[in-house]
Amino acid sequence: MKRMLASLAGLAMVVLTLNGCGKEEPTAATAQAAPQDVFEWKMVTTWPRNYPGLGMAPENFAKAVNAMSGGRLKVKVHGAGELVPAMGVFDAVARGAVQMGHGAAYYWKGKSPAAQFFTAVPFGMNVQEMNGWLHYGGGMELWREVYAPFNLVPFAGGSTGVQMAGWFKKEINSVDDLKGLKMRIPGLAGEVFQRLGGVPVTLPGGELFTALQTGSIDATEWVGPYNDLTFGLYKAADYYYYPGWHEPGAMLEFIVNKDTWESLPPDLQAIVTYATRAINQDMLDEYTARNNSALKELVDKHGVQLRKLPDDVVDALRIASKQVIQETIAEDETAKKVYESFQSFRADVMPYTAISEAAFLEIRGDD
Ligand code: CA
């Protein structure tokens, strides 16, 4: 953190110097960096290579840092299964086998239950609120604290916005319809689903279509129209439910090996930091632009049956979510600390969201 602040201060000095008097004087950051050093990183991801949306964040990040660093930091992206399996990303970066990874913190709940709160909390915060908590509400400091024992430095790595509740082979008309249903649904939401009688499984995205088509699962959540269309999930299930109660803005992550991070010159650290911030926003921009036409194609061309989850099912999910979260934090001090920060920010932000975003959406009309 100190090094990052030092590098940011260095950049600020550059800006001030350039703006102030036009002289190009050496600064702390430029003096410390060794311009001749070229750093070559491997980044492993939990997504298939070049997968639209989620999988483009690592590619876009690699392009951005290469351009911003003038080629001094080169990042090569390896999709799921190329160097390590999708679910091996955390360990590979932690032990330094590779320098960097991209995925989602809730995949690592087995490492630390607290990790789940950095991806998605059922009935939690939307993307705007989540970004506010992480970057201006103390969330990111906690995330670093949770990952420090694993020798990892985390960064927000893109958000999908509110997701879809998922693909189902049969209609869901009551809580009873969830009983015995085998569904791919990771993280806290999976435990909530189990509480209502469902059978949750965690599978990487690349395995969803086959699992759904062969009947080894009855339902799956993935992301939203743009990504779900790409995987062809509509060919394996007819009913597409909303809203994404479980992932009201799933936040992805970049992780960097801590030793690698600390050996990086401050100016390159600043480039990595700001590139992640840019990519974090860029992903949301892309989903906002592409989900609409994908939804139209799913419904108009492929005959997908769009359904809203019944109110009583949503109510049951909400109640079960509170129970699961309370039990999770009762068993783990770190999870409790993270959730208390999350929940306190959520309580503070909700009144204004209600009279700004929510109130505006209500008044703006349909045409
Ligand atoms: Ca999801």
The length of the chain, given as a count of residues:
367
- Look at residues 87, 77, 73 and name the one whose alpha carbon lies nearest to residue 44: 77
Residues 6 or more apart whose CB falls under 8 angstroms from that of 307 comprise 171, 172, 239, 240, 241, 242
Position 299 in a domain? no
Spatial separation of the C-alpha atoms in residues 123 and 188, rounded to whole Å: 11
Position 325 in a domain? no
Position 300 in a domain? no
Position 309 in a domain? no
- Measured in angstroms, how far is the CA atom of residue 52 from the centroid of ligand 1? 14
- Measured in angstroms, how far is the CA atom of residue 127 from the centroid of ligand 1? 14
Spatial separation of the C-alpha atoms in residues 172 and 193, rounded to whole Å: 13
- Measured in angstroms, how far is the CA atom of residue 109 from the centroid of ligand 1? 15
Number of domains in the chain: 1
Which CATH number covers residue 121?
3.40.190.170
Position 235 in a domain? no
- Look at residues 153, 156, 93 and name the one whose alpha carbon lies nearest to residue 119: 156
Residues 6 or more apart whose CB falls under 8 angstroms from that of 216 comprise 182, 210
Position 216 in a domain? no
**pTM of the predicted model as reported, rounded to 2 decimal places:** 0.87
Position 120 in a domain? yes
- Measured in angstroms, how far is the CA atom of residue 273 from the centroid of ligand 1? 25
Q: Which domain holds residue 14?
A: 2-19+30-159+249-288
- Look at residues 291, 266, 264, 281 and name the one whose alpha carbon lies nearest to residue 61: 281
Per-residue model confidence as pLDDT tens for the chain (367 residues): 444 444 444 444 444 333 333 334 444 444 455 567 999 999 999 998 888 889 999 999 999 999 999 999 999 999 999 999 999 999 999 999 999 999 999 999 999 999 999 999 999 999 999 999 999 999 999 999 999 999 999 999 999 999 999 999 999 999 999 999 999 998 899 999 999 999 999 888 889 999 999 999 999 999 999 999 999 999 999 999 999 999 998 999 999 999 999 999 999 999 999 999 999 999 999 999 999 999 999 999 999 999 999 999 999 999 999 999 999 999 999 999 999 999 999 999 999 999 999 999 999 998 8
Position 112 in a domain? yes
CB 195 within 8 A of CB 252: no
